[in-house]
Amino acid sequence: MNALYTCFCQISDLLGAEPSLREARQHLHKFPELSFQEKSTAQWVGDRLEGWGYRVTRNVGGHGLVATLQNGAGRGIALRADMDALPIHEETGRPYASAHAGTMHACGHDGHTAMLMGAAQQLAKTRQFQGTVHLVFQPAEEAGKNSGAQQMIADGLFERFPCDAIFGMHNHPGAAQGTFMFGKGAFMSASDNCRIKVIGRGGHAARPHQAVDPVMIAGSLIMALQTVVSRNIDPTQTAVVTIGSVHAGQASNVIPEFATLGLSIRSFSPEVRNRLQERITHLVRDQVSSYGGEVEIEYERGYPVVINSEAETDFARQVAEELVGPEQVVFPFGPVTGSEDFAYDLQHKPGSFLRLGNGLDSVMLHNAKYDFNDANLSVGAAYWTRLVERFLNEPALLADTA
């Protein structure tokens, strides 16, 4: 341990900053921006970081920005927060509810950004580390493809801002507020999408024998697709097939020409991922054909599995246990069937992605009534600060935790 720094950040060190953290988070919540549209958000965040003494590099992979603070020679660490919102009309009724109709922070990215900003201000004030910290404020996590992580990496993220490890955090509704959750290896699922267009032959609702009804075929597919996991995937493995959208027709007395279904598919291993694609495409083609219809299938691979490094996860967990006590740390935790483009960062650098409880009664993510728990702002900011301090001041630490 570097003898210069023996007192690492505590949550109490951030309590005085809580009003400004809430103000920042609620400002971000009120003015959300969708993926690839985060220009004002990035400008607002970047201006504050520059005011705290950071060297801010803007427009990295789109609206991404990287804030760098160096304090002497040493290792480098990167912390990442996402900034984009979702196309959902907010129903929270909060005084700081979205001012942009049809757009809201329904996944807590406003909180993730505010927590990292809180850590940024604390690190700039105390400078209790030796080395370099890169704070990555990423756009377009919700994009599903060609995402912010991919674009920042393609724009030279790790070459321009070298680091020894990278860490990220996501809030977790349904877990007690302030509880940290960690998992090694495959922690969050791969995410694939499938669009199915069932093509029939339209006709009069009173003469179905003269038509090929794509709605009826789609209905049979809805039930049949539920057997893909239950009858094709090893029960000890985790997989999800969800039909999230169904669209067909406009009038009750018309059999339409086609019907479409949208699927979200989650998995944790290449073998299961391949098996799901194989069985879905074969089942759909055979089922539609058996009813006399035709089908078009667009199957698209999305984010890969989030694979946490063992040593970095042990280290991140140790920091949480020091900060909040072992009783508020869950390990091992998982698997989490949500997906994250942080997976791409972990393909390039060792690191870990962790979860922070948003409250037992918290509304679930991607819901119009969801809101980030502001009680986590000082907790998350203190955690990030302490993580940086310990990582940069104790070069042998990861070897000790392995």
Determine the average pLDDT of the residues in 285-307: 97
- Looking at residue 400, its pLDDT comes to 46
Task: Quote the mean pLDDT of the chain.
Answer: 96
What average pLDDT does this structure show over 369-385? 98
CB 276 within 8 A of CB 239: yes
User: Model confidence over 320-338: pLDDT tens digits?
Assistant: 999 999 999 999 998 999 9
Mean local confidence (pLDDT), 393-400: 66
- Provide the pLDDT for residue 396: 63
- Helix, strand, coil % in the chain, rounded to nearest 5: 40, 25, 35
How do residues 274-293 score in pLDDT, each as one tens digit?
Answer: 999 999 999 999 999 999 99
Average pLDDT over residues 160-175: 98
Q: Is the predicted pLDDT of residue 5 greater than 60, yes or no?
A: no
> What percentage of the chain carries pLDDT values higher than 90?
95
Using pLDDT thresholds of 50, 70 and 90, give the confidence band for residue 401: very low
Amino acid in position 36: F
For residues 58-80, average pLDDT: 97
Give the pLDDT confidence of 217-228 residue by residue, as tens digits.
999 999 999 999
Stretch 196-200: mean pLDDT:
98
The mean pLDDT of 142-149, rounded to a whole number, is: 94
Tell me the helices (H) and strands (E) count for the chain, helix number first.
12, 16
Is residue 169 over pLDDT 80?
Answer: yes
Which class for 277: exposed (0-12), middle (13-18), buried (19 or more C-beta within 10 A)?
A: middle
- Are the C-beta atoms of residues 239 and 267 closer than 8 Å to each other? yes
pLDDT reading at 171 higher than 50:
yes
Question: How far apart are the C-alpha atoms of 90 and 322, rounded to whole Å?
Answer: 37
pLDDT at 144 over 70: yes
pLDDT at 179: 98
Which position has the higher pLDDT, 398 or 346?
346
The pLDDT of residue 356 is above 90: yes
- Does residue 395 have a pLDDT over 90? no
Backbone phi and psi for residue 172, each to the nearest 5 degrees, phi listed first: -135, 95
C-alpha span between 144 and 186 (Å, rounded) = 19
Largest CA distance in the chain: 85
Task: Determine the Cα angle at 330 with ends 381 and 316, to 5°.
Answer: 45
Which residues, listed in sequence order, are joined to residue 135 by a DSSP beta bridge?
Answer: 67, 79
Q: What is the pLDDT of residue 3?
A: 43
